[in-house]
Amino acid sequence: MYDPTVTRRRFMGYFSALGLGGTLFPGVLYALHCENNTPDDMPITVAVIEQAEKLSGLAFTPEQREMMVQDLNEARTEYQEMQAFPLDNEVAPALVFHPDVRGRLPLDAHNTTRIAVLPKMVKKPSDETDLAFMGIRELSGLLRRREVTSVELTEVYLRRLKQFDPELLAVVSYTEERAMKAAQKADAEFAAKKYRSLLQGIPWGAKDLLATKGYKTTWGSVPFKDQVLDYDAAVVEKLDAAGAVLLAKLSMGELAWGDVWFGGKTKSPWNTALGASGSSAGVGATVPAGLVGFGIGTETLGSIISPSTRSGVTGFRPTFGRVSRYGAMALTWSMDKIGPMCRSAEDCALVFSVLHGRDKRDVVTRDAPFSWPLNPKTLKIGYFNEAFEADYPNKKADQESLQVLRSLGFTLIPTPVPKGFLPGVLTMVIDIESAAAFESLTRSNAVDKMVRQTKDAWPHVFRVGHLRPAVAYVQANRIRTQLMLAMDNLFQEIDVLISPSFGREILQITNLTGHPAVCVPNRFDPLKDEPNAPARETGSISFISGLYKDDQALAVAHAFQSVTDWHKRRPPIGR
């Protein structure tokens, strides 16, 4: 969900530098007063209040501090009572975030899905490696004509996972028994000409924060490495209903940060000297290597886009609230999103077509229509000209990608992205909500057992999150509202915005506003001038559309991929 390679502005306690007001949150006072996290009966004093003022950039008089002492001691007692109240990770706050800031989507919007593509009729390749790299429509055609069985396909992917995972470190748990039962069921249905979806019989991999009954769901974290949740996540339920075959639980950076988990560091199949980035690291590593048919990742601030870029995946982050998060680990309730990571934009569209829709178990979910395919020539396309004009590593590849789009007949409109809304600062929302989501880890000192113990890791961020003033969190979300309004105005002028994937804080902006994005590969620079050499650098470009217009971003990305082959290239691992 969160990736450390995404540049973000942090501030370590001195809110006056941000120009934000603050309040003396009792947790701040308590933490300053005590040398550890163990509650005691020592009172909050005037001296403690004076020190706490520095965190909020405020200054009170001695008389004002004296007046505050009794109330703050009472507030601390109240907060201690709250700490004793049982709260599982799945319990969301009463404050519900909706990206549709102007209410443009009707509350009774229909959850219509129109899929007007059929399985592709191709011949079964003689080489099982070629079979493993096929797209969803190709595999669906082979399965429906029974040129290959789901059991056979499942066995192929299992063999490949077991062959290459020692190098990639991408598998947390195999769901082999479950997979074989699902594959046998799919084959029986194919024999009876009972068709569920284009995903029927196709093996997939799940980021290991999706609950899967009967198997561990570890969240990549030492404190949870033996956790078994006795139910299936909504995404798992929907893919089961579509007839897909869950093959494995795939690695994620510990508690959804980066590519390091309790089993090691997941590697990129393009260059095993590099991590796969995160936090959807295992999906990012296995999909482009042809080890699963497709995968499901999650994003809060780059955890689909970043590993997709590093490993050459087509990653799709849907509009916030389009896919149910029931049964998925919560990190930041107002920013967490679930989406497919596949070999093409079309594959992403086909997976998304069975995932989206309202789920009463996740109150942020909304219904909205989805159509595939969609004619992109009817869309007005903008490009983030200021970001493309800057100096950055992927500039040459991105400029060439823009030319490809122009050659397809698209008129690209220079489009400025709203400035001045402090998107780097606003990502404090992640620090504060995640600290709340995992408060018990911090207070029990279980965070000390986590793999990474640096400033750029959750244990430190959780501790800092406890000291951030509550007023700063509210003010950040008020500024966020203004950013959402500005981005809504932008998408009244265009349908799709093309941007460098990491250009000028676009990743922070669109994750805060909840806009959908499709990230497609557009560069693999080899270490040597050899076709089989590992990649030194990989690159991507992103297509962003208006809220609930996910099919529009996917359609333009698909048009780009229809005349390029970046998404078809195979990495050294798996080819």
Phi, psi values for residue 54, rounded to 5°: -65, -30
Residue 461 Cα to chain centre, angstroms: 19
Does residue 538 contact residue 523 with C-beta atoms inside 8 Å?
yes
One-letter identity of residue 520: V
Residue 55 exposed, middle or buried by CB count within 10 Å (0-12, 13-18, 19+)? buried
CA distance 507 to 208: 23
Does residue 191 contact residue 129 with C-beta atoms inside 8 Å?
no
Question: Between vectors from CA 450 to CA 446 and to CA 454, what angle results, nearest 5°?
Answer: 115
Does residue 265 contact residue 222 with C-beta atoms inside 8 Å?
no
Please, what's the b/e burial string for 419-436 (b: 16 or more CB within 10 A of its CB; e: otherwise)? eebbbbbbbbbbbbbbbb
Does residue 220 contact residue 252 with C-beta atoms inside 8 Å?
yes
CA distance 170 to 193: 35
Strands 294-299, 203-207: parallel, antiparallel or unpaired by DSSP?
A: parallel
**Among the listed residues 315, 257, 313, the one whose alpha carbon sits nearest the alpha carbon of residue 285:** 313
DSSP string, 243-311: T-EEEEEE--STTSBSSEETTEE-EETTEEEEE--SSSHHHHHHTTTTSSSEEEEEESBBTTHHHHHHH
Catalytic residues: 207, 279, 303
In the block, which residue shows the tokens 């689909």?
304
Strands (DSSP E) along 333-434, which ranges? 337-342, 370-372, 381-383, 412-414
Residue 340 Cα to chain centre, angstroms: 9
Longest dimension (CA), the chain: 84
CA distance 160 to 290: 8
Length of the chain: 575
CA distance 403 to 410: 10
**Among the listed residues 76, 24, 54, the one whose alpha carbon sits nearest the alpha carbon of residue 472:** 24
**Among the listed residues 471, 396, 378, 398, the one whose alpha carbon sits nearest the alpha carbon of residue 432:** 471
